[in-house]
């Protein structure tokens, strides 16, 4: 999976977000969006480009904010570009992430960077229901984007990388035994949405 060239615009936006001046006031923004996944991988199998839609609720503080991002892809595991998955199958992916956000608040052109952890749910059905597989686990995401418009109404463009965490248990979060390893399932997601500030 070749992702090196995709990091260039992401890193550029991260640098812009970190150098941007903090927002003068706190703000909460609701963003419904539609997007597309690409460069997906599960044991090196590519599922192609699939539709995603979702909703993000972001609270911008003075330079640092918090976001809850929910997204659903109803056809993620339908036959894609890889020959291995060229059979009759259905499947979906649901993500629910809690992210820290750097930059992005206020009006005008506001770049931002974000990242965090949350839940990733995957389900695949195929071969006349002989295959029925589902996984509910933890995942991580990191990305960047920009909002352009007024404080109350703006457009948001966003690109994020999602990756399954194969071993992340409550014991790890509490400082106990266990480990945090990257899983085999990952994808990129680009999206465009309308942000409503209040």
Q: Which residue has the higher pLDDT, 182 or 8?
A: 182
* Domain CATH code at residue 157: 2.40.160.20
Average pLDDT score over the chain: 80
**Strand-strand pairing, 50-60 and 27-42:** antiparallel
Using left for φ > 0, alpha for ψ between -120 and 50, and beta otherwise, residue 128 falls in left
Residue 156 pLDDT more than 50?
Answer: yes
Closest CA to 42 of 18, 94, 90, 77: 77
Host domain of residue 33 = 4-197
Structural domain total, the chain: 1
Closest CA to 121 of 79, 141, 151, 91: 91
Alpha helices in the chain (DSSP H): 7-19, 170-173
> What pTM, to 2 d.p., does this model score?
0.77
Bridge partners (DSSP) listed for residue 114: 101, 143
pLDDT tens digits along 48-98: 899 999 999 999 988 789 999 999 999 998 765 555 555 566 789 999 999
């Amino acid at each position: 999976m070749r992702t090196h060239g995709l990091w260039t615009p992401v890193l550029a936006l991260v640098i812009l977000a970190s150098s941007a001046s903090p927002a003068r006031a706190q703000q909460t923004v609701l963003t419904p969006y539609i997007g597309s996944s690409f460069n997906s991988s599960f044991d090196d199998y590519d599922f192609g480009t699939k539709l995603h839609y979702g909703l993000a609720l972001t609270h911008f503080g003075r330079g640092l904010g918090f976001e809850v991002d929910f997204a659903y892809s109803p056809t993620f595991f339908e036959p894609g570009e890889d020959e291995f998955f060229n059979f009759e199958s259905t499947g979906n992916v649901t993500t629910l992430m809690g992210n820290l956000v750097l930059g992005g608040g206020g009006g005008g052109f506001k770049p931002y960077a974000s990242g965090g952890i949350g839940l990733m749910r995957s389900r695949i059905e195929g071969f006349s229901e002989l295959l029925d597989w589902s996984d509910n686990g933890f995942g991580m995401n990191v990305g960047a984007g920009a909002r352009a418009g007024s404080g109350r109404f703006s457009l948001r463009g966003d690109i994020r990388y999602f990756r399954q965490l194969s071993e992340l248990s409550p014991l790890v979060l509490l400082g106990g035994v266990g480990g945090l390893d990257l899983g085999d399932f990952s994808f990129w997601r680009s999206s465009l949405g309308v942000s409503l500030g209040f």
